[in-house]
Structure 1
Amino acid sequence: MPTNRRRTYWCEALSRTFGAVDMAVPDEVDHGTIRTSPLGQMLAVTVDGDPLRAVRTRRLIAGSDNDDYVVVKLVSRGAARVEQDTRDVCVRPGQLFVYDMARPIRLTLPERFQTKSLVLPRHVLGLSESDLRQLTASPLDTETALGGLLSPFLSRLVDTAGAYPQRIGALIAGNVVSLLTVLADERLGRDTMSTPSAAQALLLRIRAHIDRHLADPDLTPDAIARAHHISVRYLHKLFQAEDITVGRWIQRRRLEECRRELARLEAASTTVAAVAHRWGFASASHFSRVFRTAYAMSPAEWRDHAARESRVAPDAPWRVTDTGAGEGTAVPSFRPSPVLRPADATEDTAGCGGGGSRSAA
C-alpha cells in the first residue's frame, strides 16, 4: 500500500476481521499481515503488526451485525493489556484470553506483536451470560494443566487451519469447543473430572502425546497410559468412543506422516525404508503392506505420483477463491472469505501452513 494510505487501510482491515472498533495506531505504520482460514463455524486468524489500541464501545456494538461472537486470543509475541467486565489485566507471551464482542472492550498492544485467534459464534459454547463473564479478560497461564494443553494446541491449530478438509475442520472445531467448556467449568468451580468435555480434553492431550512420539517404535498403549496416569482399559475406552483402536490411531498417524514426507521433493533421495523407520515402523515390508492397504498404491508409486503432480504445476500448489472486495480492500469480510483450498482436494496437506494471506500494508 502507498505510505499515505497504510494507516487507514490497516485500521479498516482489522475492523473487517474482528468487528467494528475505534482504532489508534502510530502515524507511521510499518507493515502488518492478517491471515484467515475458516474452521467449521469458526475463523482462525493470525495477525502480525505494529503497536495499536482498539476500543469497542456500546455505540459501535449497537451498530454492528457481528456482536454474537467470542474471540479466543493467544499472544504469541509481544504483550497485551485487555479491559472487559471490570477486569484490567496484562497478558504475557504464551498466554491466551477470551473476550466477548457483545460487550465493551479495550485492547492495547504496546509493541510489535503477533496474535493467533479463534473467532466463534457465542451460541456454540452453550454458556449463559453470567458464565461467559467469568471467562472474559482472565488470562490462562501456561503453567496450569489446561493452559499447558490449550495454548500450544490453539497455536498449532491456527497455523494449520487452512490445510484441513471441511469435514475434519468441523470435527477439530468441536474439540476446541469441548476444551473451552472444560475451561469454563474449571473457572466456575464445577466438577470437571467426569464430564464428556473433560474426557475429550484428555483425548486431545493423548493424541498430542502420540504425535510427539510417533518416531518411537516403543510407543504402545501401555506406555501411553502410564504417561497420562490412567489405566490401559480407560485409554481404550476413550478411543472406542471415536470408533478406532489406539493401535490403529498410531498406525494411521504414522502413515500420514510417511505419506507427507514421501511427497516432498527435498526427500526424493531418502529411501522408503528410511522414511518408514523415521516414523516408527520397525519393518519396511510391513510398512509397505499397510501403506498399500490404506492408499491403494505402494509407497514408491505414491512418491512417483507426487513428483509428477509437482512437475505439472510447480508454481501453483494452491487455488485461491476470492469474492473480489475491490481495489484497496483486499481483506476478508468477518464471515470467512477468501478461502485457500488445497489444489487436490483429496490430499491431506496438514502442516503446509495456514490459509489465506492478505498483506495489510
Structure 2
Amino acid sequence: MALDALVQERSAPGSFQTTDSLPVDRRRTYWREALSGTFGAMDITVPDEVYSGTIRATPVGRLQAVTVDGDCLSVLRTRRHVAQGGEDEYVVVNQLDRGVARLEQGGRETLIGPGDIYVYDMARPGRLILPQSFRTKALVLPRDVLGLSESDLAHVTASPLGPGTPLRGLLSPFLAGLVDGAGTSPPRAGELMARNVVDLLGVLVDEVLGRSSADTPGGNRVLLLRIQAFIDRHLADPELTPQTIARAHHISLRYLHKLFESEDATVGRWIQRRRLEECRRELARHGNGVVIAAVAHRWGFTSAAHFSRVFRATYGMAPREWRNTRA
C-alpha cells in the first residue's frame, strides 16, 4: 500500500485530532482509536482518565509528518498486529521533544530522553512506554525510502541515533522543522527538506554502524546540507555570495559549485530562490499590513525593482498581486 493511500485511509491530509473538546468519559476510547489509526494496529494502555491528547498528521510526499502530545501511555505491537495490520512496509523515525520513554524492539531495551532520535520498525514486534506527559515529532516513511538493508535496520532499531554528535545536532532541527512546517511550506520546499532529512539519517546510520562517510556521496551530501543551513541563516545579508560561502566552509569555489550540481540550481540561484520563498511566505502571512520593499530588503534584496522582476518571473505575478490575493 502506498503511503498516500495509507494517509487517506487513516486520517485526512493536515488532520488534527484532539481529546480536548470531548467529555471526559469518551476521551480514553477516542485517544486509543486515534493512536491506532495513525500508527497502526497495537494494544494501547492509557489511564482511566485521559486529560489531554493531540495528534497532528500531514503528508509530505511519500512521508507522513506527525506530532503527538499526550499523557502517559504504553503501546504493544505483537506479531499478530504485524501480520494483520499491513504496516510492515513502514518505519517510524521519532524525536522525543518532551518526557522520557522506554523502547523495546529487536531484542534491545533502551531509555529515550528529550532530543533523542530513534527508529521504530513496524515490521517487528515492540513495546514503547511513556510514563509521563510527552511530545514526539515523527516521520512515517516507507522502508524503501530509508534505503537501509534489513540487517542495518535491525542494528539501529531501538537505539538512540548519535546522541551528542555534530551530525545528530544537524539532523535534529531539520527533522523538527520538517514536522512543524508540514503543510505550510510550498510542496517543493517540503519535499526538499524531506530528502535532506532522509539523506542525513542515512549518513547518521552509517556513523552509528561504524562506516566512514568521509569522501563519499553521503559525506558530500552532509556538507551540502550544512552549506544550505548556513545560507538560510545568512539570507538577510546582502553580501552573501558563493565566494563568502566557500571561504566560510574552507572549500574552493569550484568545489562549492560542484556540490550544487545535484540541486538543479547554481549557488546564486539557490540563494535567490530561498530569499524569494521567505519573502513570499512573509507577504502571505502579513498581507496588506506589510511594505513590500521592506520585506525585500529584510531578506537580502538590495533593489526593490530587481526583487519585483525576479518575483514575477518566478511566480507569475507581481509581489503586490500576491500580497493582495493572500490578504
- Considering the TM-score relative to the shorter chain, is it more than 0.5? yes
Measured in 2, the distance between the counterparts of 1:166 and 1:285 equals: 27
3-state SS of 1:163 partner: coil
Q: Does residue 123 of structure 2 align to residue 102 of structure 1?
A: yes
Q: Distance in 2 between the 1:91 and 1:224 partners?
A: 37
Give the corresponding residue for 2:206.
Answer: 185
Cα distance in 1 for partners of 2:202, 2:250 equals 23
Q: 1:113 aligns with which of 115, 127, 134?
A: 134
User: How large is the RMSD of aligned CA atoms in angstroms?
Assistant: 2.1
Give the whole-Å Cα distance in 2 for the aligned partners of 1:208 and 1:35: 26
Query: Aligned partners of 1:118 and 1:237: how far apart in 2?
Result: 30
Q: How many residues align?
A: 306
Q: CA separation of 1:226/1:148 partners in 2, compared to 1, >3 Å: closer, same or farther?
A: farther
Q: TM-score with structure 2 length normalisation?
A: 0.86
Is 1:279 the equivalent of 2:286? Answer: no
Establish whether residue 199 from structure 1 lines up as the match of residue 220 from structure 2: yes
- Counterpart in 2 of 1:294? 314
Contact 2:162 2:204 in 1 (8 A): no
Give the 4+ runs in structure 1 shifted more than 6 A.
none
Moved more, 139-148 or 243-252: 139-148
Q: Report if the CA contact (8 A) 1:142-1:151 is conserved.
A: no
Partner of 2:278: 257
Unaligned runs of at least 5 residues, structure 2:
1-21
Please state how far the C-alpha of 1:172 moved relative to its aligned partner.
Answer: 4.1
Match of 2:15 in 1: none
Q: 1:79 to 1:230 in 2, by over 3 A?
A: farther
SS in structure 2 at match of 1:156: helix
Q: Which has the higher helix share?
A: 2
Cα 1:133–1:151 shift into 2, 3 Å: same
Alpha carbons of 1:122 and 1:294: their partners in 2 closer, same or farther (altered >3 Å)? closer
1:109-158 deviation digits (Å, cap 9, x = unpaired): 11111101011112222322221112111112453121011111011101
Residue of structure 1 in register with 2:67 after alignment: 46
Whole-Å separation in 2 of the counterparts to 1:10 and 1:288? 49
Does structure 2 conserve the Cα–Cα contact (< 8 Å) formed by 1:81 and 1:108? yes
- Taking the aligned partners of 2:205 and 2:80, their CA distance within structure 1 comes to 29
- 1:354 — aligned with what? none
Q: Which residue of 2 aligns with 1:341?
A: none
Match of 2:16 in 1: none
Q: Distance in 2 between matches of 1:25 and 1:141?
A: 31
CA distance in 1, matches of 2:189, 2:155: 30
SS of residue matched to 2:263: coil
Q: Distance in 1 between matches of 2:169 and 2:270?
A: 23
Q: Indicate if the aligned counterparts of 1:44 and 1:118 stay in contact, CA closer than 8 A.
A: yes
Give the C-alpha shift of residue 13 in structure 1: 1.3
* Structure 1 residue 268 displacement after superposition: 3.1
Q: CA deviation at 1:50?
A: 0.6
Match of 1:249, SS? helix
Question: What is the aligned partner in structure 2 of residue 18 from structure 1?
Answer: 39
Partner of 2:176: 155
Name the CA distance, whole Å, in 2 between partners of 1:195 and 1:230: 16
Q: Secondary structure at the match of 2:91?
A: strand
Say if 2:244 is the partner of 1:217: no
User: Cα distance, 1:64 vs. partner?
Assistant: 2.4
Between the two structures, name the one with larger relative contact order (CA 8 Å, sep ≥ 6): 1
**Alpha-carbon displacement from aligned partner over 1:33-67 (angstroms, at most 9, x marks no partner):** 11111122221111011111111122322332112
Instruction: In structure 1, list runs of 5 or more residues that go unmatched.
Output: 308-361
Distance 1:280 1:171 in 2: 22
Distance apart, 1:306 and its partner CA: 2.9
CA distance in 2, matches of 1:264, 1:171: 22
* Equivalent AA in structure 2 for residue 33 of structure 1: T
C-alpha distance in 2 between matches for 1:68 and 1:290? 43
CA distance in 1, matches of 2:315, 2:261: 24
| 3-state DSSP of counterpart to 1:116 | strand
Kindly indicate whether the alpha-carbon contact (under 8 Å) linking 2:182 and 2:190 is maintained by their aligned counterparts in 1: yes
Return the alpha-carbon distance in structure 2 between the equivalents of residues 195 and 296 of structure 1.
39
* Structure-1-length-normalised TM-score: 0.78
Letter in 1 for 2:304: A
CA contact (8 A) 1:179 1:198 kept: no
